[in-house]
Chains A and B, each alone.
Chain A
Amino acid sequence: MSTVASQIEVPAGVTLPIYMDNHATSPLDPRVLEAMMPYFTNKFGNAASRNHSFGWEAEQAVEAAREQIAKLIGATAKEIIFTSGATESDNLAIKGIAEMYRERGNHIITQVTEHKAVLDTCKRLEKYGYRVTYLPVKADGLIDLEDLKRAMDDKTILVTIMSANNEIGVLQPIREIGKICHEKGVLFHTDAVQSVGKVPINVIADNIDVLSLSGHKIYGPKGVGALYVRRRNPRVQIAAQIDGGGHERGMRSGTLNVPGIVGLGKACEIAFNEMDSEAAYLRGLRDRLKAKLESELDYIHVNGTMEHRLPGNLNVSFVYVEGESLLMGINDVAVSSGSACTSATLEPSYVLKALGLGDDVAHSSIRFGLGRFNTQAEVDYVAAKVIDIVKKLRELSPLYEMVKEGIDLTKIEWQAH
């Protein structure tokens, strides 16, 4: 009797389940937690309280965090606005600029593999009379800069293009995009949630006017993020989307989440100090995983360019194996799939489809997101387990058998249902 259940030995030092989904969220670094703890209890003051030491203490902590964040991205502290996370940052940036610059123009340019926080914000603006151009991506996942130049017109006020993609980890050429924007006098926003702290980003050198970042993707807490808003050359103005007490220079009202902000600051400080060595470490683990998979399995398709990519990302389609069934077989490893069966919409990943991949290849994709706390022993176990399960599921796959027999699957009249 055939069996899919795996009996791969767990190496010493590896505890199951293994977390390898660091693009979704990352574990809190213990050093971050330590920094945050006093601000939940003893140092509980409201950073807006100007007339007692509790408030001053909180404000000092917030300003220190602002410095830590600014340093990581080459900004100044005054250019950092705290938010509840990157979704809010994206909304504030895009809606805030759209509102503020409405008289100058109504055209916004973005691209098809953006996060929904950007795409759905743009869609809403379309309802309010804005025009949005969604640039396509090439098979490698990158936009064509000539497409961007062609899309610009005299009504273009904003270009919003992500720095690193959350599924395939590809790095858009933001420096060149920013340069094109500045030459045309158009503002450039980037959703840098996945890239801040992972690869070098400098808002000056990279020509970025507005940038979204988040705490929990960089081993910081959930529920806190920031928006960088450039103050000179050009001075960017943003219309507030949350009204109230006028916090954050009037751009984002609401009592500051002091422990969260302290944690975000600490996470940025650690990233600043350790990014280079950590990137080299993660690239090593990622390449080891890729090499192991490729040495044992045929019909593997790496989604997106390997050349311009986050060090910890590997997105692979194990063709002729459906993604959810693979996840079921490796249920002691936390990863994600672009398979429709794993999504709420029952549609395969729009990011993978944008690369021109067939739905069948998108259904077969797995995203490995390596992070700070993953080890080589974990990578070896995950590779062995995935190889074992993929081989077993391919024994079960009529498509794999047909392809091995030399049948062209595209010539078959499938009964789509």
Chain B
Amino acid sequence: MIYRLALVTLALAAVLGDQAGAEYRFPMPEFESGYERPQMEAPPPKLTSPVVDVALLAGLMALTAFAVLKLRSRNWVLTLMVVSLFYFGFYRKGCVCPVGATQNVFNILIGDGAPVPLLISIFFLLPLIFALYFGRVFCAAVCPLGAIQEACAVQPVQIPRTAENVLGMFAYAYLGLAMLGLYTGTGFLICRYDPFVGFFRLGGSFNMLMAGGVLLVIGIFIARPYCRFLCPYGVLLRWASIFSRRHASVTPAECIQCRLCETSCPYNAINLPTPAVQSEPRRAGARRLGWMLAAMPLVIAAAGLAGVLAHPLLSRLHPVILLAERIAAEQRGDFGDLTIESEAFHASQQSPAELYAQADAVRRRFRAASAAFGVFLGLAFWGRMVRLSVIRKSPDYEIDRGACLSCGRCFAYCPVEKPNDVAA
């Protein structure tokens, strides 16, 4: 307990110590009387050593893996989570984080190819490597986005597994959109629409703060909605975690099928044992699977076509398209005032025709990227359908390695092990 308190106190001190030096912006008064403006003195930049960040990331994930796999202690997981929340959340203000780093790394492959700093690469890769060995320990306690949600998940309930399957597809869509944003030069959508970074920075756009607030309120009952249904990095961690070498288990020994853990996981990450009797003849299930496999090209084609058709809407994510529409509307006289963007455009040497041509080039790029986005989503849907059609016999209650966030909630419910300290 003492150790856990000490850790939290250290993290809190780091956050409070960082609140000096905030800067407000207000237009400078206009002087025409010879008044000499004093030289602005900006405070020196306060840099945190990347080594500290990487060391903390690795250390916290290692500790989490130890807490989950060896100690089987949810309280330790919670403690580490609080530390991560204060450090990576409030102290580092949500940046750098592996979720956003995904974009930097993929930007090399499909974006503008901007080089990625080593720190970012490490932040992207380290959680995946840990997931390959120990499961999603990064999600368990180190991710600040997960931590703030976990902190709010005080009365979690299970949602139906059917709904869990469908809602989980949004994460694939978000990942696809993030890639679309990179390919088309729209920007880093994951960072742009990060719902929690505003809380970490104690300020942000009103809409994103509201979105984050709504997610946190929902998260009181439906734990970690962003992690489960939206997080694009979670998709990658899910894939890595499926192949994890060692993963948290509900029971440390043999499952006695007491069913005590059945409702313990709010993430529906505990697979029920496969009943001995099937609901339909084996032949019917095999035929369905065969149809699904045969339908793959059709699903992909339909999804790709849907993507192409939706590309005008998707292309409105791009600032150039928005600006072109705004300028066109202004020239039609639809608006009486200018936005910051349109004012800057009017002050530039670019002509509307050039802007429209530029927007059209962006739109064409979106058309190709949207087709790929549709294919990706089609594959994701198809893959999940196949997964739901393939029967893997499991006699016991087992962890769903992809979905499990290694939060340790289920440990206390298993009577096989020595009772541990109970957490909510």
Q: Does chain A bind chain B?
A: no
Residues of B within 8 A of A (CB): none
Residues of chain A at the chain B interface (Cβ within 8 Å): none
